[in-house]
């Protein structure tokens, strides 16, 4: 078995950081990346999307470099990630969103996981969900995530900012991030599904990414985009329709989104269909509540975020 020390000495890492109009948060993300305890070189590729690049972030250091590029592909998160992947010069690629922060030891722990599972192509970690300064740990106990598990559950503990993947697998195997997904919503889930379809995904069962949830998220109020993106995923991955609980989860999200859009009749019809799949799916009941005059969808969402959850 390959030693962790040997892996550190041999494998370089490119961290792709897509960004748009969040300069202060971006600098915190970069600082946490370059401060990682990791024996190999790290390059950060900051990808500016639909915004003016800050060339002052450039850092010319062979061990901890920072490059600034602009998104040359589809505008949005997926195109930004792919621009960074294609610009990468390293054997491993990691993602970090510009409002998230890696905790000390993240790369070291993931390198150990890769060394312990030489067939692994992608490794995730748990998160600390940060909502207005309140931190809620979300950790998956298992060290493997299977395709079947992802069909049944999104495994929200594994966010894109926790991904570390072999670049060769992205270029020839798993594939790049899908830029056709509406609004790039769920692009990380789609990537996990494609990776796990090939072989189980590794997981470090520790919270090693601080994941920021706030009302400024670009997806918070894009309800129609969420509905369309989930339809796209259902069509792309037919297995999602084969598991009643998994299908109920996805259609429950759509029911809530329709309620948030004021489409009360459609939301109720979708919620009833969800309950036919799985009467324990909470999103159906939240959607039904959000169709009443007494409960607003945005207030439900804020309450969930306070406890480190989302729809």
Spell out the per-residue pLDDT of the chain, length 311, in tens.
Answer: 344 445 545 799 999 999 999 999 999 999 999 999 999 999 999 999 999 999 999 999 999 999 999 999 999 999 999 999 999 999 999 999 999 999 999 999 999 999 888 899 999 999 999 988 889 999 999 999 999 999 999 999 999 999 999 999 999 999 999 999 999 999 999 999 999 999 999 999 999 999 987 654 444 458 999 999 999 999 999 999 999 999 999 999 999 999 999 999 999 999 999 999 999 999 999 999 999 988 888 888 878 777 777 77
Tell me the C-alpha distance between 81 and 191, whole Å.
12
> Shortest CA distance to 143 belongs to which of 165, 158, 128, 161?
158
Do the beta carbons of residue 148 and residue 228 sit within 8 Å? no
Task: Please report where in the chains the tokens 């792309």 appear, as a residue.
Answer: 236
The alpha carbon of 185 is separated from its chain's Cα centroid by a whole number of angstroms, namely: 9
Instruction: Check: pTM over 0.75? Answer yes or no.
Output: yes
Predicted pLDDT at 127 = 96
Do the beta carbons of residue 256 and residue 297 sit within 8 Å? yes
Predicted pLDDT at 9 = 55
Predicted pLDDT at 20 = 94
What are the Cα distances from residue 242, in Å, to 5, 46, 237? 43, 39, 10
Predicted pLDDT at 160 = 97
The alpha carbon of 52 is separated from its chain's Cα centroid by a whole number of angstroms, namely: 24
Q: Report the sign of the C-alpha dihedral through residues 220, 300, 127, 24, in that order.
A: positive
Do the beta carbons of residue 18 and residue 51 sit within 8 Å? no
Predicted pLDDT at 7 = 52
Domain ranges of the chain: 4-212, 223-306
Beta carbons within 8 Å of 309's beta carbon, 6+ residues apart: none
Predicted pLDDT at 221 = 56
Q: What is the CATH number of domain 4-212?
A: 3.90.550.10
Do the beta carbons of residue 301 and residue 309 sit within 8 Å? no
């Amino acid at each position: 078995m390959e030693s962790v020390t040997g892996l550190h000495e041999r494998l370089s890492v490119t961290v792709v950081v897509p960004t748009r109009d969040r300069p202060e948060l971006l600098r915190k993300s970069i600082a946490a990346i370059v401060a990682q305890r990791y024996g190999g070189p790290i390059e950060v590729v900051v990808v500016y999307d639909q915004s003016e690049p800050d060339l002052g972030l450039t850092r010319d250091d062979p061990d901890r470099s920072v490059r600034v590029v602009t998104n040359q592909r589809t505008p949005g998160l997926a195109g930004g990630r792919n621009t960074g992947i294609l610009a990468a010069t390293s054997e491993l690629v990691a993602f970090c969103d510009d409002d998230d922060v890696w905790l000390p030891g993240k790369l070291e722990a993931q390198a150990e996981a890769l060394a312990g599972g030489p067939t692994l192509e992608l490794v995730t970690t748990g998160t600390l969900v940060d909502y207005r300064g309140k931190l809620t740990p979300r950790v998956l106990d298992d060290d493997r995530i299977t395709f079947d598990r992802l069909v049944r559950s999104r495994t929200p503990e594994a966010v894109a900012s926790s991904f570390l993947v072999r670049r060769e697998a992205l270029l020839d195997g798993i594939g790049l991030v899908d830029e056709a997904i509406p609004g790039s919503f769920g692009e990380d889930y789609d990537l996990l599904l494609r990776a796990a379809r090939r072989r189980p995904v590794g997981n470090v069962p520790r919270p090693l990414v601080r994941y920021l949830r706030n009302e400024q998220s670009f997806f918070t109020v894009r309800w129609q985009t969420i509905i369309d993106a989930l339809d796209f995923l259902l069509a792309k991955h037919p297995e999602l329709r084969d598991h009643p609980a998994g299908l109920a989860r996805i259609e429950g999200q759509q029911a809530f989104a329709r309620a948030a859009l004021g489409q009360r009749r459609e939301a109720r019809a979708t919620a009833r269909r969800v309950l036919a799949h799985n009467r324990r799916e909470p999103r159906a009941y939240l959607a039904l509540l959000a169709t009443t005059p007494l409960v607003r969808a945005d207030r439900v969402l804020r309450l969930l975020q306070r406890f480190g959850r989302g729809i």
